[in-house]
Amino acid sequence: MALKYKQKCIRCKKNYVLATSRQNYVICYECQENELKGNIKDEKMKKFFNIPHKYYKENAFLRNIKINYLKYHSLSEKQIEAFKKTVKQMREDARENK
Ligand SMILES: [Zn+2]
């Protein structure tokens, strides 16, 4: 599993966000909440992003992917793969912690 550590949100400089070493900067959920609210028209992508809301709360990477999609209406194959992998990992972690 990737190493995780807490980093201060670069926008509000108040909240801490759980980040992996791959993320150079992070923005907290509160700061991104409005950006996550866009409407997805593509049925396939709607389904793709239809994961438990708390995953977006907990994971800055998932938020960034969704916001990226809402902005540019496309994702690279790499982004899609990474998103799926992260969701899978979170599901597995949730099972283990029960
Ligand atoms: Zn913030």
Report residue 28 CA to chain centroid gap. Answer: 10
Question: 24-48 burial by CB neighbour count: b if 16+ within 10 A, else e?
Answer: eebbbbebbeeebeeebeeeebeeb
At 42, the amino acid letter reads D
What tens digit of pLDDT does each residue of 43-52 get?
999 999 999 9
pLDDT tens-digit series, residues 24-60: 788 999 999 999 998 899 999 999 999 999 999 999 8
Q: Output the CA 32–ligand 1 centroid distance in Å.
A: 8
- Is residue 19 within 8 Å of 62, Cβ to Cβ? no
Tell me, in angstroms, the distance from the centre of ligand 1 to residue 44's CA.
30
Find the 98 Cα to ligand 1 centroid distance in Å.
29
The answer to whether 60 touches 78, Cβ cutoff 8 Å, is no
- Quickly tell me which residue has 């999609």 as its tokens: 69
- How far does the centroid of ligand 1 lie from the alpha carbon of residue 26, in Å? 8
Please tell me the pTM assigned to this model.
0.86
